[in-house]
Amino acid sequence: MGSNLSVNYTEVIAMILFVTGFANLLLQKNLIKKIIGFNIMDSSIYLFLAVKGYITGRTVPIVVDNVTSVEAYINPIPAGLVLTGIVVSVSVSALMLSLTIRLYRRYQTLNLDEISTRLKREGM
């Protein structure tokens, strides 16, 4: 076990959330819960990424009073990457939810296994 476990506690929490979301996405039978699991997983990755930019004692990267020295601001790159990632996560959630609505309208169930069994029985 490496030495940075206690200092990187934010990242540890992010990894626990990641595995929680991952397990939900794989194992839950209800489609809405799968989507919630996917959202937890993605949010944990953004937490993991966002905390990489932090430097103790420095502030938000918005230039105030024309101070442009490196020692005054945190790293702006992870914040920009997280902005992109959040939009991707929203788009994919919207797509998955509309798929769920269509499936519910047709089969009146949110259980993916039951839908597959019904399709196999119909023998399409």
Residues 31-70 that bind other proteins (CB under 8 A): 31, 34, 38, 41-42, 45, 48-49, 51-56, 60-63, 68-70
Find the shortest distance in angstroms from Cβ 87 to other proteins. Answer: 5
Residue from 18, 30, 36, 111 in contact with other proteins (CB under 8 A): 18
CA–CA gap between residue 6 and residue 72 (Å, rounded): 26
Residue recorded with tokens 């798929």: 99
- Of 118, 123, 98, 76, which Cα lies nearest the Cα of 32? 98
Residue from 12, 33, 36, 111 in contact with other proteins (CB under 8 A): 12
Q: Which residues from 79-108 bind other proteins, rule CB under 8 A?
A: 79-81, 83-88, 90-92, 94-108
Q: What φ, ψ does residue 11 adopt, rounded to 5°?
A: -70, -35
CA 26, 29, 35, 38: dihedral to nearest 10 degrees? -20
Retrieve residue 103's tokens: 């499936």
Q: Is position 25 an interface residue for other proteins (rule: CB under 8 A)?
A: yes
